[in-house]
Amino acid sequence: MKKFIIICIMLLIPVRIKAIETSATSAILVDTDSGRILYSKDIHNKRSIASISKIMTAIIAIESDKLNDVVEINDSIDKAYGSGIYIKKGEHISLEDLVYGLMLRSGNDAALAISNYVGGSTEEFVNLMNNKAKELGMKNTLFRNPSGLDEEDGGNISTAYDMSLLISYAIKNDKFKEITGTKHHKIETDKNIYSWTNKNKLLFSYKNTTGGKTGFTVKARRTLVTTASKDNLNLAVVTLNDGNDFKDHQDLFEYGFNNYTNYQLLKKGTINIPDTNNNLEYYIENDYTYPLLETEEESILIKYNLEKNPKETAGNIEIYLGDKLLHKEPLFSKEKEIKQKKSLLQKIKEIFKHDK
C-alpha cells in the first residue's frame, strides 16, 4: 500500500499566446531536453526527407567509435551523384573528416564512403539506420540509403515528429554537436586540400543557432533541421517542404525563446518531504527541467508517492501540468546518519588531548 502526499496543487490557467504560422507542409518546434512540442503542423505526415537523412548517417558513424580511423576511398563512390565533396578513389581520409564533409557540404560521396566503411556495405549500414530509428521510437520512418537521394529507390521516408526525435537524441552527443555547429572546416589528405563552409545559413545569420542539416530533392523539396539554444532552453525545428525554411526556423526559435522559460522542477540529491519518517533521508538521482509559459508556472502539481515498506525504491515523484502527467522520477531512501551528542566529560577529554 502506498501513502500519497500531494505537495503542490494549482489550478490550470487557460493559455493564450500569439499564433504563428509557417510555409511548410509539416513543421515542429520542440524542446530537445524534455521533448515538449511547442509548435506543430501535420507532424505525422510521411514524406521523403532528402539530405536531413544524413543526421542518422552521422550519428551512427560517430557512435561507431571509428572516427579516428583512416578510410581508403574505394569503388563505392562511383555510384555517387548530386552534391559531393569530390573525394577520389584511393584517397585516404579520416572517418571524422568524412562526417564533416557529410554534414557541412551534404556530400553524397561521403555518405557512401561512410556507409561502406562503418557498415561493411551500404545495405548493412541501412540496417543500422533502421535499427537506430526503431530504438528512438521513430515509428513512421524508413531508411533506404545513407544520403537521402530519392530518384532510384523512393528515398528515405519520415515525418517532422520522427526527425525531431532523431535530432533531440543526436544533439546531446558532444561530437555531433561540434561537427554540425562548425561553420568552416579545412583538411589536407594525400590527394587534395579541402575547405568547406557549412550550408546551414542560420549558423551565420542567427546567433542562437547550434547546428542543423539542410536537404533538397525535387521530390522532397526543401527540408531543414536546425537547433538553437538560449537561456538554458535548447530547441529544435524540423520543416518538410518549406520554401521559406530559414526564415520560418528563425521565427519559430524566436517564438519559443520569447514565450517559454526552462524551469528546473527537480534537482538531484536530497529531497525534503514533510510528515515523513524522521529516520529516513529521501533522494533522487536526476535533475528534471521543463519549459513553461508564464501562464503555466502556477499549474504545476508535484505528487510524492511513498512506499509504506521501501525496498529497492522508496516510491516515486510525479509531476503534472494540470491533469497531464509530465514525468515520473524514482525516489530512493537511506537511513539518516545520527550524530550522537558528546557528554561534558568527552568534551573535556578532547580539550586535554589536543593540548598535549
At 346-355, the pLDDT tens digits run 666 666 565 5
Rounded distance between C-alpha atoms, residue 330 and residue 312, angstroms:
10
Burial 10-25 (b: 16+ CB within 10 A, else e): eebeeeeeeebebebb
Q: Which of 26, 53, 83, 106 is catalytic?
A: 106
pLDDT tens profile 219-233: 999 999 999 999 999
Q: Report the pLDDT value the prediction gives residue 342, as an integer from 0 to 100.
A: 60
Rounded distance between C-alpha atoms, residue 245 and residue 249, angstroms:
6
Strand order in the sheet with 233-240: 37-41, 26-31, 233-240, 221-230, 209-217
Q: Is 186 a catalytic residue?
A: no
- Give me the chain's average pLDDT, please: 90
Q: Report the pLDDT value the prediction gives residue 351, as an integer from 0 to 100.
A: 63
Q: List Cα–Cα distances, 52 to 256, 326, 353, in angstroms.
A: 22, 29, 72
303: closest CA among 1, 15, 9? 9
Give the chain's radius of gyration (CA, Å): 26
Q: Report the pLDDT value the prediction gives residue 338, as an integer from 0 to 100.
A: 58
Q: Report the pLDDT value the prediction gives residue 356, as an integer from 0 to 100.
A: 52
330: closest CA among 312, 309, 315? 315
Distance of CA 16 to the CA centre of its chain: 28
Q: Is the pLDDT of residue 336 over 80?
A: no
pLDDT tens profile 145-184: 999 999 888 999 999 999 999 999 999 999 999 999 999 9
Rounded distance between C-alpha atoms, residue 33 and residue 299, angstroms:
20
285: closest CA among 243, 251, 333? 333
Angle subtended at Cα 247 by Cα 167 and Cα 232, rounded to the nearest 5 degrees: 50
Angle subtended at Cα 314 by Cα 313 and Cα 320, rounded to the nearest 5 degrees: 100
Over residues 243-248, the mean pLDDT reads 97
Within 13 A of 63's CA, how many CA atoms are on the CB side?
16
Q: Which of 26, 48, 51, 147 is catalytic?
A: 51
Q: Is 106 a catalytic residue?
A: yes
Q: Is the pLDDT of residue 3 over 90?
A: no
Q: Give SS3 for 258.
A: helix
Q: List Cα–Cα distances, 206 to 28, 178, 229, in angstroms.
A: 18, 17, 11
Q: Is 147 a catalytic residue?
A: no
Q: Report the pLDDT value the prediction gives residue 281, as an integer from 0 to 100.
A: 86
Percent of the chain past pLDDT 90, that is, above it, reads 78
Q: Which of 26, 54, 147, 168 is catalytic?
A: 54
Q: Report the pLDDT value the prediction gives residue 297, as an integer from 0 to 100.
A: 87
| Partners of 58 in beta bridges | none
Give, as one character, the DSSP assignment of residue 156.
Answer: -
Q: Report the pLDDT value the prediction gives residue 13, as an integer from 0 to 100.
A: 36
Q: Is the pLDDT of residue 95 over 50?
A: yes
Percent of the chain past pLDDT 70, that is, above it, reads 87
Alpha helices in the chain (DSSP H): 54-63, 95-105, 108-119, 122-135, 160-170, 174-180, 202-205, 245-259, 344-355
Q: Report the pLDDT value the prediction gives residue 341, as an integer from 0 to 100.
A: 58
Least confident of 165-174, 271-280, 324-333, 343-352: 343-352
pLDDT tens profile 15-72: 334 568 999 999 999 999 999 999 999 999 999 999 999 999 999 999 999 999 999 9
Q: Which domains does the chain have, with CATH numbers?
A: 2-13+263-335 (2.30.140), 26-243 (3.40.710.10)
pTM of the predicted structure, to 2 decimals: 0.88
